[in-house]
Amino acid sequence: MEGGGAGGGASQETGATVGVRIHQSRRLPDFLQSVNLKYVKLGYHYLISNLLTLCLVPVMGIIIIEASQMNPNDVHQLWLHLQYNLVSVIICSAFLVFGSTVYIMTRPRPVYLVDYSCYRAPDHLKAPYDRFMEHSRLTGDFDESSLEFQRKILERSGLGDETYVPEAMHFVPPRPSMQAAREEAEQVMYGALDNLFANTNVKPKEIGILVVNCSLFNPTPSLSAMIVNKYKLRGNIRSFNLGGMGCSAGVIAVDLAKDMLQVHRNTYAVVVSTENITQNWYFGNKKSMLIPNCLFRVGGAAVLLSNKAGDRRRAKYKLVHVVRTHKGADDKAFHCVYQEQDGAGKTGVSLSKDLMAIAGGALKTNITTLGPLVLPISEQLLFFATLVIKKLFKKNVKPYIPDFKLAFDHFCIHAGGRAVIDELEKNLQLLPIQVEASRMTLHRFGNTSSSSIWYELAYTEAKGRMRRGHRVWQIAFGSGFKCNSAVWEALRSVKPSRNGPWDDCIDRYPVKVVS
């Protein structure tokens, strides 16, 4: 019996081994094919990207050889010819100088990101999952169905236990008021600005342009006026206050500041991006309006931009492109994120079921414009080829999705929610590490609206991943419906600034987010 048992075991082992070998032999060609395709594609990209250089090298070689074989008398004759045509030389030189001057005077001025600061709320404002649900139950505003809905949303949201809600929401019952909303705005904006001025040593009087964006809270005087009053900014400052423009307004604010920096020389622009929750908490039972309660949290960022040539040496980034897409002409897109009153007269922001489909359409339009500006020519040729085959030959060809990983080193996807990050990771074929900053920002700070892309950039810096020449793609979605992109280039290997939002917790990240 023992011999039979041993023999049976050996037989089973042999069979298992053969099975593994057969399985491996079947998979080996597929593996080799994928490896070959990978290197073929890499070779193709290298060839196309360096085609001009590869063509110029032989031409330059021929010119050098020909020049080395020239007779000294020929060189002398050429010099004499130029002397006899002095007028032509002077005219050509004048045109060259004039053209160079016009180009230098009219070319877009570089816009530098000197530094930025993200607000981190005090610990007593943290809203752990259990406390959030208990607080929602004690308020008495939500029925059992709404409480269960919020519980499910929170479980799947990707938010951790350290996000923040404003002071007024920690009371039972909550105490939303104009004064409390002003206090929240002051804490966030002044907290970010104080840290920004301290880190850059820029005096408030040096600021020539101020752009503030906050979608849902627009008091009188405005938020920009509050900042002017607090820091005693100069009387001729160009100040702007953007309201109702959603989570993508941070990129819009940067774009506006960039345009102003093209007009006004040698000055600084400050962009403040925030959202206000105190007066915009929903206390009803309409499901589509309860989602923002579960996702939006306290946060804000202040960004210092400059068009001074001298600031290039200390700046972190240079602004390369801004691409804005607005789908507001379509009724479905216009209403997919909509502030309104429910049947009981309670105000909230309603999120449509079509939101992800509309966001996908806006993204497609945005990257169609952005692609030719940033993608290598090799990717553009592949995209164009599939388009031609589909249009001219009526072939059912799957659309070619450009590899944006060839254009960007880092991705800052607006942390609007887990579904948003999942969709972009899938559609853009990104790697987990490339969406890590977005997922971890959502986990640690929640959806901080237009400022979330700055928390993500701060995460990348805190991890020590930003190197000179790296390109960053910030992409955000917002009501309207809008999809906006900003592209930055690192001017040096960037280290995190003092008092950054990740200072006390970066060593704990990334964390595993429960599905």
Alpha-helix residue ranges (DSSP H) falling in 375-451: 377-392, 418-427, 436-445
Nearest partner of 282 among 268, 264, 295, 273, judged by Cα: 295
SS3 category, 68: helix
Q: Name the token pair of 183.
A: 């206090």
Please tell me the predicted confidence (pLDDT) of residue 8.
Answer: 40
Query: What are the residue boundaries of the structural domains of the chain, listed by start?
Result: 27-68, 70-107, 112-508
Q: Where are the beta strands (DSSP E) in 214-371?
A: 238-242, 268-274, 300-306, 317-326, 337-341, 347-351
3-state secondary structure 174-231: CCCCHHHHHHHHHHHHHHHHHHHHHHHCCCHHHEEEEEEECCCCCCCCCHHHHHHHHH
pTM of the model: 0.82
Average pLDDT value for residue range 448-476:
97
Please tell me the predicted confidence (pLDDT) of residue 53.
Answer: 66
Nearest partner of 375 among 471, 459, 285, 484, judged by Cα: 471
Question: pLDDT (tens digit, 9 = 90+) per residue, 308-342?
Answer: 999 999 999 999 999 999 999 999 999 999 999 99
What number does CATH give the domain 112-508? 3.40.47.10
Please tell me the predicted confidence (pLDDT) of residue 43.
Answer: 57
Report the range out of 58-62, 349-353, 409-413 with the highest average pLDDT: 409-413
Answer whether residue 280 shows pLDDT above 60: yes
Nearest partner of 442 among 124, 136, 162, judged by Cα: 162
Please tell me the predicted confidence (pLDDT) of residue 70.
Answer: 60
Which residues belong to the active site? 247, 326, 410, 414, 443, 447
Alpha-helix residue ranges (DSSP H) falling in 50-85: 51-68, 72-84
Contact 121, 321 (CB under 8 A): no
Please tell me the predicted confidence (pLDDT) of residue 434.
Answer: 96
Please tell me the predicted confidence (pLDDT) of residue 377.
Answer: 84
